[in-house]
Amino acid sequence: MKRVLVIAYYWPPSGGSGVQRWVKFVKYLPACGWEPVVFAPENADYPSLDPSLQAEVPPQVEVLRGRIWEPYAAYRKLLGGKGASTQVTEISSGRKTWKQRLSLWIRGNLFVPDPRVGWVRPSVKTLKTYLAQHPVDVMVTTGPPHSVHLIGLALHRATGIPWIPDFRDPWSRMYYLKYLPMTGRTWRKLRAQEQTVLDSCNTVLACTPLVQEEFRAQTATPVACITNGFDEEDFAGPAPVPDGFFNLTHTGLFAADGNPLLLWKVLGQMAAEVPGFRQALRLRLVGRVDAEILAAIRAEGIADNVVATGPCNHAAAVREQRSASVLLLPLRQDPEYRPILPGKLFEYLAARRPILGIGQEDGAMARVIASTAAGITADWENAAAVRQFLEAAWQQHLAGGVPATTGDIAPYSRRATAHALAGLLDQVQL
């Protein structure tokens, strides 16, 4: 069987949608003729944990570990243990203290391209030794953090092994970079790193069509696209029994820069105007929620309708998705977010519950929701569309339950995306 080395920072026990892309690829690649070997940090400082994802990794898969120095412990010490309790994304959310502003300057200018850059040199040394004794046919690096791609670049130059950098998010066009006080010199260094990676690899892999278009305009290297997806096994079995409430559900991180103020306003109006709506409404927020979001909900008079469960494991999040009347998917209100496809979008599709997306109506997410007839995407100011969608769902709820969506989502199954990846590995390995 052919072998592929996967170099990933996020790996179980890490939680979140970012880790699931490669956990699922690794799960299904052996059936496609590829034996994965994973290299991940031994002592990473992950923002969220979900040890249950370890059960998704086939026991025969070799997982190598390398120690990493993480600067975030020093960051928390600088802040006196404060600053992270109410903000989900500290870079782009909220007003900053002078210590936070200093830490962002250090993060932006001394750690290029990101704070995990210290993992590059020891990883290259470890993997050179490993590869000399255990050859592989292809290497894949997956970012962010995009410093992981610098490991692949060094190994590719040293060994000649075909290499694919996988971009789960953009690099220099990532929306939050503009909130870092980077100098012109830092920007030039970061963009040079990105360009070198794009021009030096065998094939670039993007996870959304719009990011693929951006990279194609930037390099002559072939650029492929394989989206994230859903695992059919996670959604097997009968759907949960309805609890009688009108459940509007959001799973995963809910950051202040994605605060859908329009949605809370519409819900507040409906609670005041529509008979029975306030009593039935449940806003189920599953995961970490920024304090600014809870404050905005409270300002609209519907705080008593919130059920905030806090973080949970992946299986519990899937149960919440399948139990929803409507799934909420607001994007960050930022032009750089237009090409992004949130990982949870595909699990929302598999849950077969209607999706209310809030974001660019011509963005990548809107295209997928429309093509699968899974719901709507409304602009941040399109109150009429949001209310019309929610009123229709409410009437269906009163009539016996919001019906399941039925669009074609088969191309987004994890088996299908793993098959596509195996084809790409075959192509690069030749």
Domains and CATH numbers, the chain: 2-71+111-229+413-429 (3.40.50.2000), 232-410 (3.40.50.2000)
What is the amino acid identity at position 335?
A: P
Q: Rounded to whole angstroms, how far apart are CA atoms 206 and 225?
A: 5
What rounded mean pLDDT belongs to the chain?
Answer: 93
pLDDT at site 80: 58
8 A C-beta contact, residue 348 and residue 277: no
Q: Exposed/middle/buried for 406, CB within 10 Å: 0-12, 13-18, 19+? A: exposed
366-390 pLDDT per residue, tens: 999 999 999 999 999 999 999 999 9
8 A C-beta contact, residue 66 and residue 119: yes
> At what angle are helices 343-351 and 314-323 packed, to 10 degrees?
50
State the pTM of this model: 0.91
pLDDT at site 336: 86
Select from 46, 54, 61, 43 the least CA-distant residue to 20.
54
pLDDT at site 83: 41
